[in-house]
A = this chain, B = another copy of it.
């Protein structure tokens, strides 16, 4: 193998993300309303059907890769030869370098439990969570958090046009310094999807492709902090998770277990810090 980092062959498949339909309001007036795209995308690995994802379609190749990464069906990007999306047939074909036999052996015991949270594979992920300890060196200042919230608020989104999608972002927050520089936030990726798990998976795929490490980043989501969201954030090695929405019992428990800093109900200059207080500074 060459020393250069391997990158799979990828399509760059595009489709419309919003569609205009006609609706009638409470006064009987008819108008044109934009709605969010949603299309089935069936994932095949070495020609074996794995799952059908309902997706907005903003980043389908990254979604396929991130799904395989977060489900632990593929351990390294080096195993992937190509990812080809064809919207005409609603399919994404992933070809591994190891080939079908290798892949089938690994997934043989997994299919039955697929569907957690009516979400995704769960049982073995909880075992894996026991091994995760997030890096403790990352810090987030209040100014950095406010810069993040401002950056995502200003963004032009499908949500603003059409609603019915969730957004996720990977963000690098920087503190202000004593010389008077303001705190800042650089949004590295912002992906929206009809399913919030798809949006986080697509970001996992983009991080893989760009070899981006999560240890000094902040993950932002418009969605709720349920168990799966917290598990995926921890799997991606991102130590700080921020949401506009609330959280659940299992989300809270898992965040404490893995040492994640979890901030909920965050908008403008308000937030609630639930876990991992040691990473937050004034």
Contacts and interface: CB of A to CB of B under 8 A. Distances in A.
A171 interface: no
**Max chain B C-beta neighbours (<10 A), residue from A50, A52, A115:** A115
A164 to B, nearest CB: 4
B227 A54 contact: yes
Contacts of A36: 246-249
Interface in A249-270: 249-252, 264-265, 269-270
A44 to B, nearest CB: 11
B118 A38 contact: no
26 contacts: A19-B252, A23-B272, A23-B274, A24-B273, A25-B272, A35-B247, A35-B249, A35-B252, A36-B246, A38-B226, A38-B248, A38-B249, A40-B122, A40-B126, A40-B227, A49-B112, A51-B113, A51-B114, A51-B116, A54-B227, A67-B118, A111-B112, A118-B120, A163-B246, A164-B225, A164-B246
Contacts of A163: 224, 245-246, 265
Interface residues of A, number: 70
Nearest to A119: B118
Contacts of A119: 54, 118-119, 195
Q: How many copies does the complex hold?
A: 2
Q: Which secondary structure characterizes the binding site on chain A?
A: mixed
Contact of A24 (B28, B116, B272): B272
A142 interface: yes
A134 interface: no
Interface string A119-134: 1111100100000000
Interface of A: 19, 21, 23-26, 28, 33, 35-40, 42, 48-54, 67, 111-123, 126, 142, 162-164, 194-195, 197-198, 201, 224-228, 245-252, 264-265, 269-274, 277, 280, 282
